[in-house]
Structure 1
Amino acid sequence: MPCHSDVGWQYPSFRLAECLDAAGIAAAIGSVGDAHDNALNALMESAIGLYRWGLIKPGRPWKTFSQMELATAEWTDWYCHRRLHGEVGHVPPAEYETAYYLTSAKPQVTTTT
């Protein structure tokens, strides 16, 4: 499994490379000015921003790691299963995804004799 990132200062560091290698994770650094990298990074930064400003900042100071870990799990459940998303018909993302896969055309297997 790769760890993909942009070309920020921390990503080409030797320390990070050593940690990734020790965990069996391949480092994959994007190229400068790559539109695909920029689109993926924008999506991730948007989700991280929602998490940071919706949970982390308002909940501080966090007293323990376990407290923040539980709050993160609860926030993630809300984000995926209860948050109404306007771009998908005001239904939670998980519900929309389930409906999509239930109704999408599936290739039919046919046999010939």
Structure 2
Amino acid sequence: IKDGWCYLASVMDLYSKKIIGHAMSKTIDTPLALRAVKNAVQLQKPSTPLILHSDLGCQYTSSAFKQYIDSTKLITHSFSAKGCPYDNACIESFHASLKKEEVHLVKYFDFDTARLSIFEYIEAWYNRKRIHSSIGYISPQNCEDLARKIA
């Protein structure tokens, strides 16, 4: 990319494996993490308490991030143990798939091109078509749709 690095913050529903919130930026900081979580809340409109799990990065431990989480009155923030990457295995697996199936196969012209391509990967491919063995070889959107029918 001629514009330099791109950073992606993403929020996954662990039940369906669907990416329910994401944001991209040229910097990795609290506003990036907040946009991803706010996008998830806006899209999903949760009405029951939920747990948001993250690592101990400064963007997730900042006072602004904590203030937003507390303001929702629905989200409990859970952190990974220090130096324990296994706590975030699901989202790390998503990021590995994103890199193998999209990022490492394409040379992006600029930040906006990368952002659009990654948006399309998440929304058109990963959430709607890509099957997952952990949810019975269906797509995350299909899993979410089936769960809503049952509820």
| TM score, norm. by length of structure 2 | 0.47
RMSD (Å), alpha carbons = 3.1
Q: Which residues of structure 2 form unaligned runs of 5+?
A: 1-33, 35-51, 67-76
Q: CA deviation at 1:39?
A: 4.0
Q: Which residues of structure 1 form unaligned runs of 5+?
A: 105-113
| Equivalent residues, number | 89
Q: 1:3 to 1:99 in 2, by over 3 A?
A: closer
CA contact (8 A) 1:3 1:25 kept: no
Q: Which residue in the other structure is 2:55 paired with?
A: 5
Report % sequence identity. Answer: 17
Tell me which of 74, 87, 93 is aligned to 2:140: 93
Secondary structure of 1:46's counterpart equals: helix
Secondary structure of 1:81's counterpart equals: coil
Given residue 74 of structure 1, which amino acid in structure 2 is its aligned partner? E
| TM score, norm. by length of structure 1 | 0.60
The CA deviation string for residues 1-55 of structure 1, in whole angstroms up to 9 with x for no partner, is 688314xxxx36xxx69xx45xx223x764337xxx6443111211110011211
Secondary structure of 2:89's counterpart equals: helix
Q: 1:91 to 1:43 in 2, by over 3 A?
A: closer
- Compare the two structures and name the one with the higher helix fraction: 1
- Compare the two structures and name the one with the higher strand fraction: 2
Matched, 1:31 2:71: no
